């Protein structure tokens, strides 16, 4: 028996010090086993004693003295003081808690791991840090705006302080979103900060995803802005304040928890972006872009306000959390009206056709780092709203909601890329591609709503994952392209690609980054745009799971539009990159262009690297998006995506994709091609020839292929949409009409949406204004009569 106890003692030897083990082992009692959830029964006793302690606790010496008996007297004194305090006796300063073991008994003695919950000194879980990160990010944005005002007279210090703080705020906001993606939802409210019901913030998986979007785009754009604005001397304080407010308000929109908080953040983002669009009022196109943007934005706000007030009235609360489960019982007519109002409001922000007219005007007018944020992030807030409406606020909707979104998405994608093809302004071209890509996102959202209404929960989550991933990817490559366009504009002083050319030798870093963005937006493997569009194809191709022939036809229209859009987008960026960066310079400004500063290159390189990483590591990123999609709908045992470190599998073996394998095969092919050509021509010798120059001995930039010539075939094929107008002006030589001095040719396109929708609406509004002008007679008595009549009508309407 003593041998068994000795062997047991050796396994537990680290628990006691060697001096505590006295000679005869017969004094060792049986092992002490504490019951589950054992705790100290009085708060002054500290933590519980360690379980499985071998030997008598009283046998442990205290600093070389006799055991624990010396600690009895301090214990009695502490208990007597506690009784005196409870009976109102002498009061004194509170003493510290007595330890559960004798002082010094546990010094240097390692303890077994406790089975109690996390100790107070342990680091909190990552999800618990999300509110701290978010608060710090908003504070950094605020400090950035204050720095722009305080350092207004020192622009050299104001720029790095303002935009450096905004970059820090973006990093903290993205960290808050990443922490919130893997944790539970959290809520925060302060009734006194705004009129009742006050400020309320709520972060779930979808809100956390859009926080990552806002913060992740803010970091490279803010770094880029430090170098982009180095030659600007006027308007820097206002620009810095508006920029910081723009970022802060965009971060607040997805986490707003009630109607008032949402509308305040939404309006702040609209106003701050308006001031950013109007940053260069001397530009002839800026005033028109500003008022069109303000008009469409506030019309969308009116629709949002009407739809939200309707839902709040029916639910009896303006908290979004109270709408869930209540709005599903709305009458079908009111539910459809609420969906239409909210879809119009959010669709105007997203730039969907036919509500896109502000987008190709406002994005080119703003500074390039602002254009990157507006196109990459701000219009995605409209997508966020559509996701909330279709999957959260209104509950499960009918299939025709998804069919409408599918058709609108197909039209937006197709019209956006077609108008981009014939555009020669580089930033307007990119703005039209924003319309196209929002349409692609909407294809995934619409397919998800249709699948959900048909009971195909797994396919609905697949459509949502495709939409969310393309939202993230578009924010990355579109921000990269706008920053690249801004670098070109800064170096050449023009946005017209017909005046560029030859920039790849003068701006190699910018050309390489722009090429990566062009390949990503053209959905070329293995970059990120290819993966998200492939997922969208996979979702649309499973339309056979829906039994309705009408819905199947809608899915086919979406598939055809997506396929055609991909080919046209590739053709468009062949034009955008080739005409801008290749061949000879077409102007002196292009010939004198130089590479931009390190700050501008740093922002572009970071986004180019993100395009590559998001493409190659898609199997590691998609599970997080699948978790976000699962929060928006019902749980399902059938996962829409099965991923490992290499492969993405859709459905039960329906299709699979391995971006790393595709990248490896492409790299091997590109490496083997020149080696094969060299081996094939090794025995034939090397011959040098001059390229065919049409019989001319000297080539100039005037002989190069132009953007107008490149887009001419598309104008002829799609003439029914473009409706081009030919304008030819020939100037002859004064001496003879047989010699032409100059030929000026223009072939502008017309917008069907503007001609068929907005121009008739504008004419009707002018007629109504002329009719209303008759009421303005200048007579005060007549105006009082109008007021009295309106009051009587209100009283009659309010009469019970």
Residue 200 maps to a domain: no
Which residues does 150 contact at the CB level (< 8 Å), separation at least 6?
A: none
Q: What is the pLDDT of residue 93?
A: 47
pLDDT at residue 735, as a whole number: 77
Q: Where are the alpha helices (DSSP H) in 493-507?
A: 503-506
Give yes or no for residue 169 having a pLDDT over 70: yes
What are 322-328's contacts with CB under 8 Å, separation 24+? 323/392, 323/393, 324/392, 324/393, 324/395, 325/395, 327/393, 327/394, 327/395, 328/394, 328/395, 328/396
Query: Quick one: pLDDT at residue 747?
Result: 72
Q: How confident is the model at residue 591 (pLDDT cuts 50, 70, 90)?
A: very high
CA 44, distance to chain mean position in Å, is 50
Q: What share of the chain is helix, strand, coil (3-state, %, to 5)?
A: 65, 5, 30
Same domain, 452 and 587: yes
Is 499's pLDDT higher than 70?
A: yes
| For residues 334-361, average pLDDT | 93
Q: List 566's β-bridge partners, or say none.
A: none
Asked if 576 and 434 sit in the same domain, the reply is yes
Q: What pLDDT score does 755 carry?
A: 82
Which of residues 592, 613, 633 is at a domain's end? Answer: 633
Question: 467, 441 in Cβ contact below 8 A?
Answer: yes
Coil vs helix vs strand at 656: strand
- Please tell me the total count of domains within the chain: 2
Higher pLDDT, 642 or 257: 257
Q: Computed from CA positions of residues 61, 62, 66, 69, in that sequence, does the dihedral angle turn out positive or negative? A: negative
| Percentage of the chain exceeding pLDDT 90 | 52
pLDDT band at 734 (very low <50, low <70, confident <90, very high): confident
Kindly report, residue by residue over 747-799, the tens digit of the pLDDT: 777 788 888 888 888 888 888 888 887 777 777 888 888 899 999 998 888 77
Tell me what the mean pLDDT of segment 457-482 comes to.
Answer: 95
* Statement to judge: residues 479 and 599 lie in one domain: yes
For the question of whether the overall pTM of this predicted structure is more than 0.85, the answer is no
Query: Quick check: is 659 in a domain?
Result: no
Q: Can you read off the two tokens belonging to residue 643? A: 């991923």
232-236, 619-623, 627-631, 636-640: range with lowest mean pLDDT = 636-640
Q: Is 588 a domain residue? A: yes
In this prediction, residue 477 carries a pLDDT of 96
pLDDT above 70 (res 86): no
Question: What's residue 81's pLDDT?
Answer: 61
Give me the pLDDT at residue 92, please.
47
Which residues have a Cβ under 8 Å from the Cβ of 98 and sit 6 or more positions away? 44, 45, 46, 71, 74, 75, 78
The percentage of the chain sitting over the pLDDT mark of 70, rounded to a whole number, equals 82
Residue 274 above 90 pLDDT? Answer: yes
- Same domain membership, residue 571 and residue 444: yes
pLDDT band at 483 (very low <50, low <70, confident <90, very high): very high
Residue 620 shares a structural domain with residue 736: no
Q: Give domain status of residue 533, yes or no.
A: yes
pLDDT tens readout for residues 87-146: 544 444 444 444 444 444 444 444 444 544 554 455 555 567 888 999 999 999 999 999
463 lies in a domain?
Answer: yes
For 514-563, how does the pLDDT look when each residue is reduced to its tens digit (9 = 90+)?
Answer: 999 999 999 999 999 999 999 999 999 998 888 889 999 999 999 999 99
Last residue of a domain, one of 633, 651, 668: 633
pLDDT at 187 over 90: no
- What pLDDT is attached to residue 83? 55
**What integer pLDDT is reported at residue 19 of this predicted model?**
46
Q: Are residues 730 and 602 in the same domain?
A: no
**Peptide linkage before 354 cis (omega within 30 of 0):** yes
What pLDDT shows up at residue 12?
Answer: 47
Residue among 175, 146, 152, 172 at smallest CA distance from 243: 146
CA–CA dist 690, 742 (Å, integer) = 31
**pLDDT of res. 197:** 79
pLDDT recorded at residue 35: 52
pLDDT at res. 105: 44
Question: Does the residue 435 lie in any domain?
Answer: yes
596 and 734 co-located in one domain? no
Q: Are residues 594 and 739 in the same domain?
A: no
In a domain, 488, yes or no: yes
Range of the domain at 529: 398-633
* Co-location of 575 and 444 in the same domain: yes
Average pLDDT, the chain: 83
Q: Residue 368 pLDDT > 80, yes or no? A: yes
Q: Confidence band (pLDDT; 50, 70, 90) for 147?
A: very high
Q: Which helix (H) or strand (E) holds 741?
A: strand 740-746
Q: Which runs of consecutive H residues, i.e. helices, occur in 182-258?
A: 205-228, 236-252
Shared-domain flag, residues 734 and 595? no
- 581 domain residue, yes or no: yes
Q: Are residues 625 and 730 in the same domain?
A: no
Question: Which of 195-199, 459-463, 762-766 tops mean pLDDT?
Answer: 459-463
Helices (H) and strands (E) in the chain, counts: 29, 7
Which of 615, 633, 651 is a domain's end point? 633
User: With bands split at pLDDT 50, 70 and 90, how would you rate the model's confidence at 58?
Assistant: very low
Residues 6+ apart with CB under 8 A from 669: none
């Amino acid at each position: 028996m003593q041998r068994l106890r000795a062997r047991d003692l050796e396994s537990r030897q680290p628990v006691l010090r060697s001096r505590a083990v006295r000679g005869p082992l017969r004094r060792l009692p049986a092992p002490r086993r504490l019951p589950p959830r054992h705790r100290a029964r009085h708060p002054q006793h500290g933590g519980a004693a360690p379980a499985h302690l071998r030997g008598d606790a009283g046998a442990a010496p205290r600093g070389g003295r006799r055991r624990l008996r010396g600690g009895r007297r301090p214990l009695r004194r502490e208990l007597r003081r506690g009784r005196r305090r409870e009976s109102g006796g002498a009061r004194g300063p509170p003493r510290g808690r007595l330890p559960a073991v004798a002082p010094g008994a546990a010094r240097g003695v390692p303890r077994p791991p406790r089975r109690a919950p996390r100790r107070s000194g342990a680091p909190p879980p990552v999800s618990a840090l999300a509110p701290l990160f978010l608060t710090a990010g908003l504070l950094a944005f605020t400090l950035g705006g204050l720095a722009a005002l305080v350092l207004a007279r020192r622009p050299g210090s104001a720029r790095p302080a303002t935009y450096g703080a905004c970059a820090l705020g973006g990093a903290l906001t993205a960290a808050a979103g990443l922490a919130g993606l893997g944790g539970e939802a959290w809520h925060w409210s302060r009734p006194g900060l705004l009129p009742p019901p006050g400020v309320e913030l709520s972060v779930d998986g979808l809100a956390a995803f859009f926080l990552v979007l806002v913060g992740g785009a803010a970091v490279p754009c803010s770094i880029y802005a430090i170098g982009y604005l180095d030659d600007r001397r006027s308007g820097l304080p206002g620009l810095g304040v508006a920029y910081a407010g723009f970022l802060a308000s965009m971060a607040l929109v997805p986490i707003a928890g009630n109607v008032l908080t949402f509308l305040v953040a939404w309006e702040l983002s609209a106003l701050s972006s308006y001031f950013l669009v109007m940053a260069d009022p001397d530009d002839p196109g800026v005033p028109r872009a500003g008022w069109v943007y303000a008009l469409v934005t506030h019309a969308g706000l009116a629709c949002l306000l009407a739809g939200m007030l309707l839902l709040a009235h029916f639910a009896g609360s303006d908290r979004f959390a109270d709408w869930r489960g209540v709005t599903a019982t709305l009458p079908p007519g009111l539910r459809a009206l609420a969906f239409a109002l909210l879809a119009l409001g959010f669709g105007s922000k997203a730039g969907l056709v036919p509500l896109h007219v502000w987008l190709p005007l406002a994005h080119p007018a703003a500074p390039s780092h602002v254009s990157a944020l507006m196109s990459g992030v701000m219009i995605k807030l409209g997508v966020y709203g559509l996701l909330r409406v279709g999957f959260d606020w209104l509950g499960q909707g009918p299939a025709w909601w998804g069919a409408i979104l599918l058709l609108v998405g197909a039209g937006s994608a197709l019209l956006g890329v077609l108008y981009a093809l014939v555009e020669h302004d580089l930033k307007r071209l990119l703005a039209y591609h924003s319309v196209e890509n929002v349409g692609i996102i909407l294809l995934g959202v619409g397919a998800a709503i249709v699948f959900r209404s048909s009971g195909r929960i797994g396919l609905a989550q697949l459509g949502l994952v495709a939409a969310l991933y393309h939202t993230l990817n578009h924010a990355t490559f579109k921000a990269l392209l706008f920053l690249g366009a801004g670098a070109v504009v800064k170096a050449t002083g023009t946005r017209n690609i017909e005046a560029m050319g030859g920039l790849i030798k003068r701006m190699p870093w910018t050309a390489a980054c722009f090429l990566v963005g062009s390949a990503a937006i053209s959905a070329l493997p293995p970059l990120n745009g290819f993966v998200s569009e492939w997922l969208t194809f996979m979702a649309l191709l499973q339309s056979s799971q829906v039994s309705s022939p009408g819905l199947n036809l809608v899915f086919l229209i979406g598939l055809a539009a997506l396929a055609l859009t991909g080919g046209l987008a590739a053709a468009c960026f062949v034009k955008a990159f080739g005409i801008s960066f290749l061949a000879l310079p077409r102007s002196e400004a292009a010939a004198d262009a130089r590479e931009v500063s390190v700050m501008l290159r740093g922002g572009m390189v970071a986004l180019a690297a993100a395009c590559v990483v998001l493409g190659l590591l898609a199997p590691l990123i998609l599970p997080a998006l699948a978790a976000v999609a699962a929060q928006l709908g019902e749980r399902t045992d059938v996962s829409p995506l099965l991923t490992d470190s290499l492969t993405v599998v859709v459905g039960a073996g329906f299709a699979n994709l391995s971006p790393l394998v595709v990248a490896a095969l492409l790299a091997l092919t590109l490496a083997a091609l020149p080696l094969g050509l060299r081996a094939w021509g090794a025995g034939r010798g090397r011959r040098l020839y001059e390229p065919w120059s049409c019989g001319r001995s000297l080539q100039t930039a005037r002989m190069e292929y132009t953007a107008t010539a490149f887009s001419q075939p598309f104008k002829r094929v799609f003439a029914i949409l473009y409706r081009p107008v030919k304008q030819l002006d020939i100037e002859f030589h004064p001496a003879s009409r047989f010699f032409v001095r100059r030929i000026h040719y223009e072939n502008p396109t017309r917008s069907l949406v503007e001609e068929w929708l907005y121009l008739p609406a504008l004419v009707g509004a002018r007629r109504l204004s002329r009719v209303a002008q008759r009421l303005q007679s200048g007579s005060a008595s007549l105006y009082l009569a109008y007021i009295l009549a309106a009051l009587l009508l209100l009283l009659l309407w309010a009469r019970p």
